[in-house]
Structure 1
Amino acid sequence: MKNTLKKILFLLLAVFVIAQFFGPEKNDGDLVTLEPFLAETNPPEDVKLILKETCFDCHSSVTRYPWYSKITPVNYWLNDHIEHGKEELDFSKWESYSAKKKEHKLDEVGELVEKKEMPLESYTWVHKEAKLSDAQIEAVVAWVNKVKFKYSLEPRPE
């Protein structure tokens, strides 16, 4: 019995060690991909910092990976979060969005931030700087409303 348990534990350890040599593709884009979004929406410096610390890791092609992202299976879990986040909103692809889609996405950003549903709680556990104060939430929502209004004035294709 003890011998079997040792073999099972050794096998599990071996699988874990071997798994460390494999992992998902990293989300390592270039900051240049965010320039069109930042230039077009022109967030104030405080909001730009908030976006960098709370949004871009999961919603752009530029992810700042924490130390534990090198550990399998954690790296697969993180990659799943990033891929899902980019499916919902990818600031790196902002240029490709229509004015209507930009307005809608900003509406969602404002709503989710105001309801404290974004950033995700699981993200703020590890990234304490991403936990938004009420003043930061107000700043983001005010900026979102200003930019949303700009998009609402743009002509729509018939």
Structure 2
Amino acid sequence: MPMKHPKTRLRNGAAWVVLALILCQFVPLDRFNQKPAPVTAIPDNVRGVLEAHCFQCHSEQTDWPKTAYFAPLSWYVTGKVKEARKALNFSNYDALSDTARQQLRNEVAGFIGSTDLSSHGRIPGFPKIMMTEPERKTLIEWSRNNNR
């Protein structure tokens, strides 16, 4: 049996890798957003900060980046967003009990108080979190408020 030339084997291997990457694109992923009810229990100024920095991953209002459409990276991106929504989902805020709302606000305060918020949940394709001090202050004050 004649031995194949190393370049031929390399080309065959590369062709199989390319074929596998093409086939990966057809794996269905859940990149859909459920139609969320408007979040009315969060004050407008707080909701503005949350929408600017948190809603991309922690709500049903995700604007999916290009990285969510090219496998195998898309598997990672959609998985991380799914994890983020499971951990904390602002789309469900109005339906939460007062105790659950306070717990959510406490979690927000913990993240906001961290020194390197920009590394929190860094997902390829989503913008880096660059929160200003006034925005941090708004969220911390809201998180300490027991009325809303």
Distance 1:66 1:54, change over 3 A: same
How far the C-alpha of 1:76 sits from its partner, in A, is 1.0
How far the C-alpha of 1:104 sits from its partner, in A, is 0.7
Cα root mean square deviation, aligned: 2.2
How far the C-alpha of 1:43 sits from its partner, in A, is 3.2
1:20-69 per-position Cα deviation (integer Å, ceiling 9, x unaligned)? 12231113223x42x1x3x112131xx33321122112111121111222
Q: Tell me if the contact between 1:58 and 1:82 (Cα under 8 Å) persists in the aligned partners.
A: yes
- Paired with 2:144 and 2:44, the residues of 1 have a C-alpha distance of 12
- Paired with 1:43 and 1:145, the residues of 2 have a C-alpha distance of 16
Residue 41 of structure 1: SS of its match in structure 2? Answer: coil
Tell whether 2:42 aligns with 1:41.
Answer: yes
TM-score, length basis structure 1: 0.78
Q: Name the structure with the higher helix share.
A: 1
How far the C-alpha of 1:95 sits from its partner, in A, is 3.2
Give 1:1-158 correspondences, 5 Å limit: 1-30=6-35, 32-33=36-37, 35=38, 37=39, 39-44=40-45, 47-116=46-115, 118=117, 120=120, 122-123=122-123, 126-128=126-128, 130-146=129-145, 149-150=146-147
Distance 1:92 1:133, change over 3 A: same
Greater gyration radius: 2
Structure 2 unaligned residues grouped into runs of 5+? 1-5
Task: Kindly report structure 1 stretches of 4+ aligned residues shifted beyond 3 Å.
Answer: 116-119, 123-126
- Paired with 1:124 and 1:68, the residues of 2 have a C-alpha distance of 7
* Aligned length, in residue pairs: 142
Structure 1 unaligned residues grouped into runs of 5+? 152-158
- Paired with 1:27 and 1:79, the residues of 2 have a C-alpha distance of 10
Structure 1 vs Structure 2: percent identity of aligned residues?
Answer: 15
TM-score, length basis structure 2: 0.83
- Paired with 1:124 and 1:17, the residues of 2 have a C-alpha distance of 20
Q: Tell me if the contact between 1:110 and 1:140 (Cα under 8 Å) persists in the aligned partners.
A: yes
Q: What letter is aligned with 1:91?
A: F
Q: Which residue of 2 aligns with 1:156?
A: none
- Paired with 2:27 and 2:82, the residues of 1 have a C-alpha distance of 18
Residue 122 of structure 2: SS of its match in structure 1? Answer: helix
